Every structure is written in C-alpha cells, then in structure tokens.
Structure 1
C-alpha cells in the first residue's frame, strides 16, 4: 500500500503504532477556522536544540508509546509489544523497571491488535508509577502499579474487551482516568484502587473501525482527548460533581493523532501524529503548523510531554525507519 495515498486500514493501523512490528451526547459542530492548516515552512520556529536522548531496541519490541515525567528530568515510558515499563535517566541511561508476563495461552484475544501490550503510564506526586496493560483477559487488563520490589500489582481491573490506552491521574479528585480506544469511552476509578466505572461515553470518543479515544490530558477544568480515527481533539467539561459534560470538538484534520500535551500558553497544544511522523502545533483556534517531521528524526511519533521549556517526544518507528527514540527539544515561546 502506498504511504502517499493510505487506505483506511493503513491509517487505523498507524494510529496504534504497533501493527507493523507485530506483523514481523453528540459533539458540538466545528467552526470552519478549526480545520485551517498552516504550511510546513514554519518547521523549527517554535522548537530548538532538538536531540535524541535515548535509542530503543525495536527488534525487542521496544516501541515507545507513552511518557510520564519525573521531577529530576527522568522519563517513564511504556513499551507496547515488549510489555515493558522503562525509565530513561536524564543522561539517557535506560533501565527496564518490569516486563509483564504473557497471559495464559499467549493473550491472542487483545481487542483489535491480538497481542498483549503495555500502553499508558503515569506517575503520582508521591512517586508511584502506574501503567496500563491490555491483554484481552479479565483479571489482567487494567491499571497496574510498579511495586517497590519491581513486581507488578493490579490496582484497578478493567473488562477484558477494553483497550486501555492513556492513563491520567486526576489529583483534585483522587482518581484515575483511562481512555478506552476500542470502546470509545473514558473510565474512572479511585486512586486507592477498586472498581472502575464509565466517566464518559460521548459519541465524539467513538472509533470508526479501529481506534477512537487515544491520548488524554486534564486542562482548564476539562478532560481533553484525541480521537485517532476521526483526527480530532475534543474537550469534555468536568461538572461540579466531577462528572462529564458534553464534548466539544476543538481541532480537526489530525488523522492518525496519538498523544498530545499543552505548551503552557493557554490551550495551545503539541500533537504527536503517528501516521505521518510529525509533531504539530495546534493553536487555541485550531490552526496547525508542523514543528518537527521526518527531516528532524520523527519516525512513527507516538507521544509528547511538556515541562517548562522542555519538550519530550517518543517515536515508535513502526511505519517508517527502524530507530525508536526519546527526543528532547527546547520550547521557544515567541
């Protein structure tokens, strides 16, 4: 299949960021301005000093998928088909924190992808590290914690037919929030552990044959989520009692979007576009410009995290190239 004219199947495979490796209420209307895209001649305008902080082993399944930042500049990353949680030190040194075992029978029942994967990661203020495991089996799929001994501990079980993807800690309400990409939902569960419940099943989160809700952040009194199949970013207001309001589409035209983060300047977003290996700036009005692409080392871009003037980006190298990396860049605000 030509990468210049991707089929729907190719596009949906790209949003997950692993299939190539494995093979070897209604939303509100979108104002026209939200679909405006700036030319790519602005590459490098807002990011500088782009460099690779760490290289990963693609042959071993180390497709970097998600990012959780540590106060000392370290980074926790989920490695999808390797079923690993790893830590990258500020100097780029890599340490595997744990590798999840295969389920009985090999775990071929994982929704859509057919193999067990570690996806989202999160770190609490106390330093506890959590991650998502999608195995297609009850009692294994859910939110796990890396215990001090390095052993995994199941904190919140999720139904076997879910595909948990992004994990966020809502410290204000002492809860986890989890996107379910194949179910088109966001789940919530107590931070102390226990049963999960559906927080939102807004139609704007639904997939169109592959993956719907994917990346997620809490910002400005709302939960924001990307939808990979629809190429959108939606904002779901949090009600006074912690519930979900009606989703509002805030950006379109982002086919194959994976994770994203806010720059600290209002609602400006940096979005990882897995399908086209790009890091895209999305303005508060939805306008877009490419900041980094293949010429800058993007290869199957999966996640982005911003802290101050530092931007961390992971590349899975799943559709282009063979060098999955963690990259670091300087955010220049002008």
Structure 2
C-alpha cells in the first residue's frame, strides 16, 4: 500500500531492467535468520521499472508445494514452482481506463485464495466498478463475481476462503470492515466492523484491515496502522463474534500465515517502525508471533527482505516445511521485489 507519489519516486529511482526475473542459484544461505527458521535465501528477483511493475503482493500454496501469487501493480496472477525460481502467468486482470484506487492511485491485484478444485479467487482494487472479487478457473479468463459498494472508498486487500461454509472473506483496508461474500459470488455483506478495524487516528495513511486468514473457527485480521493482530470468532449462525486483540506492537503489519495447527503466526511487517509518519525506507521484517501475543524478529533486510508483504507456509516445499516470503518493495529505494524461501523447523 503506497501513495502514487511514492510509487513515482520508486520508479524514478530504479534503472530500467532488461529481464523480468533474475535467478539466484549461487546466493549463500543467510546467517541472520533466527529460529525456528533456517536456510533462508532469496530465490528470485523481479523487475520494477517504468515498463514493468512486478510487485509480489500475496501468495497461496498449492497442495504439491508450488504456489500462486499476485503481481499487484502489473495486474497479474502467476504460478511459481516449488523452488520459486520460475513462474508462468495464469491470468491478467483487465485494464481500467481511469483507475483511482484509494492510497494506491492505480489498479492493483491484491489478496488471493484457492479452492480445492484449483479455482483461484483474487481481490481487484481499482476505485471503479471493477473493484471486488474475481474468479479464475483453470483455462478460463477471470470473471468478476462480486462488486464492492462505494469502490472509491474501498481497498480489498487480504482474501480468504472458508470452503466448508462456502464463504469468502475480504479485508477492506480503507473501508475498515471485513466483507463476507458467497463463494459462488453475489452481494458483499459487512461481516465485521468497529473501532479495532479502523486505522489508527494519527496514522499517515488510512490503512486498517490488511492480511486475513480463516483458522480454527475464526477469521484473523491484521490492522496495519494499529499494529495489531485480531481474531474474530465465526459463530454458528455465520455471524461475527466479538473482536479479540491477540497481539500488539506489530507496526506496519501486512499479511501473515500460521505455522501449523496452533495459533503461532509468521507476520510480514512491510515497512517502518512508526505508524504516525510515512514509511521512511525501512525495508521491514518478518516476526514470529506467539499465541500469548509475544513476538520476535526472525528475518530482516540482511536476509534479503525489501518491504515484505506476504508469508505462506507449505508442508511440501523443497526444504520440507517451507516458508515463502514475498517482498513487494513498496517502500524501498532502490526497490528489490523478490521471493525468499526458508525452512521452518518445528
């Protein structure tokens, strides 16, 4: 999430790249990564220049250990191998003539979720009627299945699928709510709202709900400018229970992922250490958040992070239980959008 002026500054600071992807087969394993992670290395760099804006935003793991991710500003959904070193474009969301997406200023593909049959769902933010959830079935073009109301004041970000209850959940970063949408598509309904989901009142950007996961009978949401991780129970009738704050002090938290069946989380802190002022070039970090709310840093810029935006955990990756971290490089100059891979030892 970044203002148009900041994006322009990043682009102007970046030399035009000839290749859209650089492989790193010889990069040494990091010595900075902290337990329970090990063997951290950047396995692919992407391109951000005047022609190509490959900002890896969100990622979902396939059953075979491969993954699908969104290049937000290039409007692409791509499939990456289990080692992350190559990718193929699955879909490109349609161009919008005059996008006016809040905060971003341009069209962007954000969160991604996957159904058991391989169908992908993504959030598309444009500030126009195209804002909402789009479905991507294998071999088919993307189709919009839900349109968020008041798109000029909506930034659909994190996305999760509860396939058991046939429901999609959307974190609206600017609208400051969690939307619920039938998996088949239809009219979005506000599922959760309240002070805990609103941006910090003294924040420089109106950024509230960001990452979102369905886990152990609840919807978990991060609030970027409040630096909080929230748990919202899903009640038997499908409504939202009382919002619970599970961790604080996670400044500029973006997306996150659970390490396993318990409530331990790996969270990407996209940039900065003070939500009252704009990000200042801090390249961010990944933290391990314990069930009691305590947390520690496990990855930093010394491991290759460059404004990390998303984390995913695979039980079938090339290292066994593997962690993938996307760095969208929104707040770094020069930007280095990349994909990092690490082993999770637990």
Q: TM-score range by the shorter chain?
A: 0.7 to 0.9
Structure having greater relative contact order (Cα 8 Å, sep ≥ 6):
1
Gaps of 5+ in 1: 1-15, 25-40
Are the aligned partners of 2:32 and 2:302 in contact in 1 as well (CA < 8 Å)? Answer: no
- Give me the whole-angstrom Cα distance separating, in 2, the residues matched to 1:80 and 1:128: 19
Going from structure 1 to structure 2, the CA distance change for 1:328 and 1:248 (only over 3 Å counts) comes to same
TM-score where L is the length of structure 1: 0.85
CA drift of 1:114 comes to 1.5
Which residue of the partner structure matches residue 310 of structure 1? 322
Describe the SS at the equivalent of 1:122: strand
CA drift of 1:22 comes to 4.5
The answer to whether structure 1 residue 131 and structure 2 residue 126 are counterparts is: no
- Give me the whole-angstrom Cα distance separating, in 1, the residues matched to 2:127 and 2:261: 39
Are the aligned partners of 1:17 and 1:274 in contact in 2 as well (CA < 8 Å)? Answer: no
Describe the SS at the equivalent of 1:76: strand
- Cα RMSD (Å) of the superposition? 1.8
Describe the SS at the equivalent of 1:243: coil
TM-score where L is the length of structure 2: 0.82
Map 1:106-255 onto structure 2 (within 5 A): 106-107=98-99, 109-138=100-129, 140-159=130-149, 160=151, 161-208=153-200, 209-255=205-251
The answer to whether structure 1 residue 296 and structure 2 residue 303 are counterparts is: yes
Q: Which moved more, 1:64-73 or 1:84-93?
A: 84-93
- Give me the whole-angstrom Cα distance separating, in 2, the residues matched to 1:18 and 1:280: 25
CA drift of 1:287 comes to 1.0
Which residue of the partner structure matches residue 65 of structure 1? 57
1:148-167, Cα deviation, whole Å (9 max, x unpaired): 34421111111213110011
* Larger helix fraction of residues: 1
Are the aligned partners of 2:212 and 2:255 in contact in 1 as well (CA < 8 Å)? Answer: yes
Describe the SS at the equivalent of 2:111: strand
- Give me the whole-angstrom Cα distance separating, in 2, the residues matched to 1:171 and 1:292: 32
Are the aligned partners of 1:133 and 1:144 in contact in 2 as well (CA < 8 Å)? Answer: yes
Gaps of 5+ in 2: 12-30, 273-283, 316-320
1:103-154, Cα deviation, whole Å (9 max, x unpaired): 23x21x212222111101111111001111111112x111102243442111
Q: How many residues align?
A: 299
Map 1:42-81 onto structure 2 (within 5 A): 43-59=33-49, 60-81=52-73
Are the aligned partners of 2:121 and 2:135 in contact in 1 as well (CA < 8 Å)? Answer: yes
Which residue of the partner structure matches residue 289 of structure 2? 282
Q: Which moved more, 1:213-222 or 1:48-57?
A: 48-57
Which residue of the partner structure matches residue 323 of structure 1? 336
